[in-house]
Amino acid sequence: MLKTRQCLLGIRSFLGVTSRIWSFILYILRKHLRTIIQYQTVRYDTLPLSPISRNRLHAVKKKILVLDLDETLIHSHHDGVLRPTVRPGTPPDFILKVVIDKHPVRFFVHKRPHVDFFLEVVSQWYELVVFTASMEIYGSAVADKLDNNRDILKRRYYRQHCTLDLGSYIKDLSVVHSDLSSIVILDNSPGAYRSHPDNAIPIKSWFSDPSDTALLNLLPMLDALRFTSDVRSVLSRNLHQHRLW
């Protein structure tokens, strides 16, 4: 009887160790798969500009692309979240440790698919500006990670730069630049840009879908939009403003 009990305990111990090893292997495999999806080779062919296009581009002001963070470029959850929106065990792209109200908080951050490639391309066309309704201590850390020492996300605005109205944060684009004809905002929340709907490109909220291509889908539009004299003349008429990419 004693030998049988010892044998059962040995089997349980072996199964427990095996289960932990298998869980670790699955974690590594998921992380590797996310890396492949995030950094897979994608192309957006930028053909040489014709003389007419070059002259047109020189004749208009360089545009500013204002970028939201949460659910637009990234998604994150922090310690203590009872129901995270990503599947348990999905590895984050990076972890941030910040202190909020004297309490250390860890944020597990997941990057939207193709965000690195997207930023690399649009930074050649636009001046990039981060505008988030999040607290600066968090938003600044996320922007630093996305910038990755490329020096393309230098201008940043945070919650204190928003206008609080009926419990929601509104982003006043005039704090970014007085000339609204040259500003485009990319944000998943229509309420954030309701003061400037003619400057906005909507994008569907992203949480965890690894097959999402919304950022890639926007590249042709952003490529063409930089040649316009007033972005509002296009965005205010275009039906894309009433759909989610």
If you write DSSP's letter for every residue of 185-214 in order, what string do you get? EEES-GGGGTT-GGGEEE----SS-TT--H
Check residue 2 and give its pLDDT.
Answer: 56
| Domain ranges within the chain, ordered by starting residue | 1-40, 50-75+112-241
Check residue 60 and give its pLDDT.
Answer: 87
Tell me the pairing of strands 127-131 and 155-157.
Answer: parallel
Lookup: tokens for 134: 């999040």
Q: Which of 68, 93, 116, 187 is catalytic?
A: 68
Check residue 242 and give its pLDDT.
Answer: 47
Check residue 241 and give its pLDDT.
Answer: 46
Q: Which of 70, 93, 116, 187 is catalytic?
A: 70
Check residue 212 and give its pLDDT.
Answer: 95
Q: Which residues of the chain have pLDDT under 50?
A: 22, 24, 27, 239-242, 244-245
Give the domain 50-75+112-241 fold: Rossmann fold (3.40.50)
Check residue 76 and give its pLDDT.
Answer: 95
70 is catalytic: yes
Contact at 8 Å (CB) between 93 and 34? yes
Tell me the pairing of strands 74-78 and 103-111.
Answer: antiparallel
Check residue 27 and give its pLDDT.
Answer: 46
Number of CB atoms found within 10 A of residue 152's CB: 16
Contact at 8 Å (CB) between 85 and 206? no
Number of CB atoms found within 10 A of residue 124's CB: 10
